[in-house]
Amino acid sequence: LPGNTGPVATFSTWDYVVFAGLVLGAAAIGLFQAIRGRKDTSSQEFLLGGRQMTAVPVAMSLTASFMSGITVIGTPAEVYVYGIAFWLFGFSYAIMSTFSAEIFVPLFYRLGITSAYEYLEMRFNKVIRLVGTSMYIAQTVITGLDLWGVLVATGAVCIIYCTLGGLKAVIWTDVFQMAIMLAGFVAVITRGAVLQGGLTKIWEDARQGQRLEAFDFDPDPLRRHTFWTIVVGGSLMWTSIYAINQSQVQRYISCRTMTHAKLSLYVNMVGLWVTVTLAVLSGLTMYSIYKDCDPLSNKDVGASDQLLPYLVMDILSEFPGVPGLFVAAAYSGTLSTVSSSINALVAVTMEDFVKPVWTTITEQQVHWSNMALSVFFGVLCIGMAAVASLMGSILQAALSIFGMISGPLLGLYLLGMFFRCANSTGGLVGLVMGLMVTLWVGIGAQVYPPLLTKTKPLAVSTHGCIFNFTENLNTTNTPAPWTHALTEMTPAPKPMLADTWYSLSYLYFCPVGTLLTIIIGLVVSSGCKQRKIHPELFVRKSDFFCFSHCNDSSEVQYCAELHKGTTNPAFVSSEMELKEKN
């Protein structure tokens, strides 16, 4: 019976058919876009879809890009172990979307850039641009890649349509993959509700198991998840992902107007809300079914990442093809993440490394170089997936890495966008110092995991297990899977900082890096000679509420063109003028 654990069914023939069909369907969409746009081989078409994309497909692609296999499988397991506090990220998504749409989109869109890191050269210098690009490449190769087994097979398909179709193929394939991910969650929740007697019973089981205590207002920065760590720290972390990450920036600057670009982020916000809500409900469904027999404590699974696939085979195996749908959902998340990463890595490599060195490159050479780089980064992504498969649960690990690297980068952008007194020396010193501090605390946290009193995993039970091959314990506190293995290897005694500085919530890594970069950058810049900087490189009041702040007829006309025009300003504005160093 479901919920008693023990051996579960394996994939049937129909499951393999459904899985293969959905993956090939996603590939077919990408290849269709590649064939349809084969006559236009320009770099603008390959990397930015000709800058003629609309809001809704871009929004769904934005959502799918970071709703990876890590999220599909990791979030329900997070809720199963820690409760629904993860749902508070919905507030973070709202803050992030507003901040990105009203501050970063107007600036990047106005400048008509291809690589987000072009801005760093315009505002500071080429060295800082290359440092920022290198940090992005390192972060992307480390984080977005998981689920090794099937990724090798699907990765080859991904490389093909990324190489041939460019951004348009990636975006429209992401739309299809997003639908598959949501369908996988709905299948789990629906079947679980039928087995448990309705969503009300699932909710009641979660309440009795203390899984519904989300609003914890404890200000302790060492607590892993509280209202403050998620809303404050999580908002900045997700802003660093969506506002300056090339994978995301490349999508919204591909929109045909600024209105579409902004709208894509707000529609994406709704998509994130729907996805995290379904993921949380899947986690509560899992707890309701396994509340009396925890598969992790009962040794039926080896890590929390295996909980949701185990549940799927336990409750859905009698419906041929449905487990295949769920597995396709998980790997669709992985595929969308890898495809977006490949396209973004190609963009920054070409714009930030190849073109500045190879100044005589022709458009045809750019086209072939883009395709070659797509193959290279695709193979690299698949290779890194093998390494990631050895890391166990990496939901928190991935978000921690984003915070450690993106936090200082976000601080550098904010320093350049809001502070006219900041210069390249201050920016570089601030970035390096911020990165050193976040790496220090982040690596320390991995070596010396925080105490369970700070992470607070919730109680689980094995007293209802039929297939119980271990000592029958009525309640067992299950530590977070990503700290369990490290706890066993932790040397004694711990250093003085182990239970203080190294126990800082991983969601505060980003705010620490952001604030340090800004503060140190301003301090160092105060003693340096200032240079004249083009005013277009700063955030303007008209970026927020355009028509409310336009003061003269020319500015009103400019705002109207950005918001209602049919042509992206990159085609008509003089980008070279902005790059002049005064």
- Confirm whether 532 is domain-assigned: yes
The pLDDT of residue 390 is 45
pLDDT for 569 beyond 50: no
Q: What is the rounded average pLDDT for all residues in the chain?
A: 74
The pLDDT of residue 540 is 79
Residues 311-327 have a mean pLDDT of 80
**pLDDT band with cut points at 50, 70 and 90 for residue 70:** low
pLDDT for 453 beyond 80: no
pLDDT for 490 beyond 70: no
- Poorest-pLDDT segment among 233-242, 247-256, 336-345, 483-492: 483-492
- Confirm whether 8 is domain-assigned: no
- Poorest-pLDDT segment among 28-42, 133-147, 541-555: 541-555
Residues 212-218 have a mean pLDDT of 89
pLDDT for 357 beyond 80: no
Question: Which residues, at least 6 apart from 540, have a Cβ–Cβ distance to it below 8 Å?
Answer: 106
Distance CA 392, CA 303 (A): 7
Contact 462, 86 (CB under 8 A): no
Residues 10-30 have a mean pLDDT of 74
Structure tokens at 389: 């498969």
- Poorest-pLDDT segment among 187-191, 318-322, 344-348, 415-419: 344-348
The pLDDT of residue 91 is 94
Cβ-based burial of 302 (10 A; exposed 0-12, middle 13-18, buried ≥19): exposed
Distance CA 164, CA 161 (A): 5
**pLDDT band with cut points at 50, 70 and 90 for residue 454:** confident
Distance CA 240, CA 293 (A): 40
The pLDDT of residue 515 is 95
Share of the chain above pLDDT 70, in %: 67
* pLDDT tens, position by position, 163-191: 655 566 667 677 777 777 788 889 889 99
The pLDDT of residue 246 is 79
Contact 369, 354 (CB under 8 A): yes
**pLDDT band with cut points at 50, 70 and 90 for residue 69:** low
The pLDDT of residue 16 is 77
pLDDT for 228 beyond 80: yes
How would DSSP label each residue in 463-487? Answer: TT-SS--S---S-EE---HHHHHHH
Residues 224-250 have a mean pLDDT of 88
The pLDDT of residue 433 is 94
Residues 66-93 have a mean pLDDT of 84
Structure tokens at 35: 């064939």
Which structural domain, as residue segments, surrounds residue 275?
A: 39-579
Q: Tell me, what CATH number does 316's domain have?
A: 1.20.1730.10
The pLDDT of residue 24 is 75
- Poorest-pLDDT segment among 9-13, 249-253, 302-306: 9-13
Share of the chain above pLDDT 90, in %: 18
The pLDDT of residue 378 is 67
pLDDT for 1 beyond 70: no
The pLDDT of residue 144 is 44
- Confirm whether 511 is domain-assigned: yes
* HSE-CB of 239 using CA atoms within 13 angstroms: 30
Residues 527-536 have a mean pLDDT of 71
- Confirm whether 328 is domain-assigned: yes
- Confirm whether 24 is domain-assigned: no
Looking at the 3D structure of the chain, how many domains does it have?
A: 1
Inter-CA distances, 184 with 86, 316, 321, 381, Å: 19, 11, 11, 25
* HSE-CB of 321 using CA atoms within 13 angstroms: 6
Cβ-based burial of 218 (10 A; exposed 0-12, middle 13-18, buried ≥19): exposed
CB atoms within 10 A of CB 15: 25
- Confirm whether 25 is domain-assigned: no
pLDDT for 264 beyond 80: yes
pLDDT for 562 beyond 60: no
- Confirm whether 2 is domain-assigned: no
The pLDDT of residue 152 is 55
The pLDDT of residue 165 is 55
* pLDDT tens, position by position, 385-427: 555 544 444 556 666 777 788 899 999 999 999 988 888 889 9
- Confirm whether 61 is domain-assigned: yes
Structure tokens at 173: 């394939």
How would DSSP label each residue in 248-307? Answer: HHHHHTTBSSHHHHHHHHHHHHHHHHHHHHHHHHHHHHHHHHHTTS-TTTTTSSSSGGGH
Residues 312-334 have a mean pLDDT of 75
The pLDDT of residue 529 is 61
The pLDDT of residue 518 is 95
**pLDDT band with cut points at 50, 70 and 90 for residue 92:** very high
53 bridge partner residues = 255
CB atoms within 10 A of CB 474: 8
